[in-house]
C-alpha cells in the first residue's frame, strides 16, 4: 500500500471526487480527507 498526500484542495472537494480523479491512474483502496475538528472543513 502506498500513501499519497494531496494539498491545496478546495474545501468543497469530496472523497468521491478525489477517488475518481486518481482511479484513472490505478486502483484506489482508500480515500481520506482530514478535517478540522472545530470547523469540520478540510485541512
37 φ/ψ sector (left φ>0, alpha ψ -120 to 50, else beta): alpha
User: Alpha-carbon torsion 6, 9, 14, 20, what sign?
Assistant: negative
Cα-Cα-Cα-Cα torsion 26, 30, 34, 37, nearest 10 degrees, comes to 160
Any residues with CB less than 8 A from the CB of 31 and at least 6 apart, and which? 15, 18, 19, 22
Confidence (pLDDT) at 33: 92
The 10s digit of each residue's pLDDT in 1-40 is 688 999 999 999 999 999 999 999 999 999 999 988 999 8
Among 2, 15, 23, 4, residue whose Cα is nearest residue 42:
15
Amino acid at each position: 500500500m502506498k500513501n499519497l498526500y494531496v494539498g491545496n484542495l478546495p474545501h468543497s472537494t469530496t472523497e468521491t471526487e478525489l477517488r475518481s480523479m486518481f482511479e484513472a491512474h490505478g486502483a484506489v483502496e482508500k480515500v481520506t480527507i482530514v478535517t478540522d475538528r472545530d470547523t469540520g472543513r478540510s485541512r
